[in-house]
Chains A and B, each alone.
Chain A
Amino acid sequence: MISVENVSKSFTLHNQGSTVIPVMAGASLHVAAGECVALVGASGAGKSTLMRMIYGNYLTASGRIMVGDTDVASAAPREVIALRRRTLGYVSQFLRVVPRVPTIDVVAEPLLLTGTGADEARAQAATLLARLNIPERLWGLSPTTFSGGEQQRVNIARGFAFAYPALLLDEPTASLDPTNRATVLAMVQEAKARGAAIIGIFHDHAAREALCDRQVDVTGFTPGLAA
């Protein structure tokens, strides 16, 4: 489902003496449907960089990144938009929303974008929020004022609202208490069971052990760090 083939990337900082920082070379990785793969490596090794390259918000210098039938590395913006709408989901560590939009609508939006009716989308969003223990009295409020853990759970609810065949998870269990952590682990398991291909970054050891079929150490893709 997700196939990264010999991918490289560098950053050029034009305003800081045109410094060129190579950050990735020769990265390859394959994830089949129903499989969960963890990206591991020390902080700064490029786990998030690789994940962003797959999602398309970082440009790829060379190589191919196939998600379904789309090569993210060479696709036009509208192809990437279509891919993100129906195929590729991403739970980032940060919640980015239009201020003043109620939480329930934030969570329902991916469903509305894929053609679910407004009532049905809200009902599904409500189910997810309840499952993640967001109190119902908060659903009508914007999540911008919520605590870190609550925002994280809203972000997860939004990321799991639509059943994407491919999912990227960046530290989904960070800043969660044990109960909610268990809920999120169960949700990832269910996504696997329905056949989603998942790539995740988990600093949470036990979560990684419980969910992932394999690990890929990105240190091997970092120029200058590879042994």
Chain B
Amino acid sequence: MTPLLQVENLAKYYGARIGCTDVSFDLYPGEVMGIVGESGSGKSTLLNCLAGHLKPDHGAVRFATRSDGLRDTVTMSEPERRMLGRTDWAFVHQHARDGLRMNVSAGGNVGERLMAVNARHYGDIRDQAIDWLGRVEITQDRIDDRPTAFSGGMQQRLQIARNLVTGPRLVFMDEPTGGLDVSVQARLLDLLRGLVRDMGLSAIIVTHDLAVVRLLADRLMVMKDGHVVETGLTDQVLDDPQHGYTQLLVSSVLQV
């Protein structure tokens, strides 16, 4: 099996400061990888470099495109990268309002992404929008409401629907359950797990919540000060952490 994403020696500097450095990994189809670390550890910088939102200073991010096999997304042209961002990639922001158009209806938010890949038939677009809103448990009677009229949890689910409607193969998530209360988090976790299982998605999830990665991620990468300090199978890293920082992180979690 060939990897879906191949990252080699990726680095991003902010002047003299390290954003992230020496990051290398392969992600295979159907795998979910978690990236954990404290604030400022470089996990969001890394995610943004992978997703093409930031230009890395060094290294390669090769993605298995449908037509031409592995292509370095760092050196490909801007239109090509944008096309990936609309089709095979999805990005779920921590704050739903960063990933939604707040003054467009819920149905419009989902439909817009379909139109970006040349869907033109109004009835089809609306049917698909209804289908996806249903999958994320937003009832059909809310399709014409704007996201401003939605709760935080609903906005987050709408953002997920908008992102997944085009059938992406790789989803980047930045703290997808952050800022939501725990009962809403649980529902979202279940939803994400079901989508990953049924659609065979690969995903990279940045979070500081170890309970979230234990339930969602197959693999884990632990970052500190821009460096990857430990990687491995999620339950292995959490149950038998090798690096001092990971041991500290795992032992700092409050037991409920």
How far apart sit A137 and B125, CA to CA, in the bound complex (Å)? 40
Q: Is the interface of B mostly helix, strand, loop or mixed?
A: helix
Closest to A18 in B: B244
Nearest CB of chain A from residue B5's CB, rounded to whole Å: 13
A residues neighboring B (CB under 8 Å): 11-15, 52, 56-59, 77-78, 80-81, 96, 98-101, 112-113
In the complex, the number of residue pairs spanning A and B with C-beta atoms less than 8 Å apart equals 58
**Cβ of A59: which chain B residues have Cβ within 8 Å of it?**
232, 236, 240, 242
Binds A, one of B66-74, B84-92, B93-101, B214-222: B214-222
Nearest CB of chain A from residue B24's CB, rounded to whole Å: 14
**Cβ of B243: which chain A residues have Cβ within 8 Å of it?**
14
Binds A, one of B113-121, B136-144, B145-153, B183-191: B183-191
Closest to B188 in A: A98
Interface residues as binary, B219-256 with A (CB distance below 8 Å gives 1, 0 otherwise):
10000000000001101100110111001100100000
Contact B239 A58 (CB under 8 A): yes
Contact B218 A81 (CB under 8 A): yes
Contact A98 B219 (CB under 8 A): no
Contact B190 A78 (CB under 8 A): no
Closest to A49 in B: B240
Give the contacting residue for B235; candidates A57, A101, A113; CB below 8 A.
A57
**Cβ of B236: which chain A residues have Cβ within 8 Å of it?**
56-59, 77
With A96-B214, A100-B187 known as contacts, the answer to whether A78 contacts B235 (CB < 8 A) is no
Give the contacting residue for B28; candidates A14, A78, A99; CB below 8 A.
A78
With A57-B239, A112-B197 known as contacts, the answer to whether A77 contacts B183 (CB < 8 A) is no
Closest to B218 in A: A81
**Cβ of B218: which chain A residues have Cβ within 8 Å of it?**
77-78, 81
Give the contacting residue for B186; candidates A15, A78, A80, A98; CB below 8 A.
A98
How far apart sit A120 and B189, CA to CA, in the bound complex (Å)? 24
